[in-house]
Amino acid sequence: MKNQFNIGDLVSVVDEDLSGKIIEIKEDQISFRCTDDFVYTYSINELVQKKNLPEQLLFQEEHKFRVDKVEVKKKTPVSRKMLKKTPSLEVDLHIEKIIETYRQLDNYQILEKQLDFAKYKIEFALRKNIKRIVFIHGVGTGVLKYELLRVLKNYPVEINEASYAQYGEGATEIFFIK
C-alpha cells in the first residue's frame, strides 16, 4: 500500500481524540504536532487524513477546559476487583515524556506545559468514559504535585496516592465520581 500522507497534511488518530499536522514521516511511522503543541508518533495504519476541515478550526490558540467547582473526597479504600474492571489511563508528566524540545523553556513554561497536558488527558478521559487516571509526577520539590492537585479540584474526582509498590512516592491516582 502506497503512503498517501505528506508533511503538512492534517491527520487524526483512529481510536483517539488526537489530531494534528504531520511534521515528519519515517518509514511507517508518522509524527504530527497536535493542537496542544505536543508531538505524537503513530503507525500509518493508526492514522486517517482529515479532509475538508479548515486548519484554523483544528489549530485554535484557545483551549477551553471545564472549571466546575466540586468537592474533592478524601482517600477511600478501593477494592482490587474494582481496579481490574475500571478502564484506566497512566499519564507520565515528566517534561521529556511530553515534549521533545523543552530545554529552551524556563521552569514556569515547563510547568504550564505539564499542567496543560494533564488537563488535556483529564478531558480526554471524561470524553472516553475512562474512570481512573494515574498521574506520574515524580518527587522533586513538590511544585508539580501541588499544582496538579490544585487543577484536580476543578473536576469531579476522588484523589488518592497511587500504589507505592508500583509507582513509589511520585504518583497520584484519581477516580472520576458521578
> For residue 68, is it within any domain?
no
Mark whether 39 and 92 lie in a shared domain.
Answer: no
First to last CA, the chain: 46
Mark whether 103 and 154 lie in a shared domain.
Answer: yes
pLDDT given at position 3: 65
Q: Evaluate if residue 123 carries a pLDDT over 50.
A: yes
Task: Tell if the pTM clears 0.85, that is, is over it.
Answer: no
Mark whether 53 and 85 lie in a shared domain.
Answer: no
- Candidates 21, 53, 14, 50; CA nearest to 37 is 21
Structure confidence by residue, pLDDT tens digits, 24-54 = 999 889 988 876 667 888 888 888 887 644 4
- Candidates 133, 120, 132; CA nearest to 17 is 120
Sign of torsion over alpha carbons 62, 66, 67, 72 = negative
Mark whether 48 and 97 lie in a shared domain.
Answer: no
Structure confidence by residue, pLDDT tens digits, 57-103 = 444 333 333 333 334 444 455 555 555 555 688 999 999 999 888 88
Number of domains comprising the chain: 2
What's the CA gap between 125 and 164, in Å, rounded? 23
Mark whether 138 and 50 lie in a shared domain.
Answer: no
Q: Residue 148's domain spans which residues?
A: 80-176
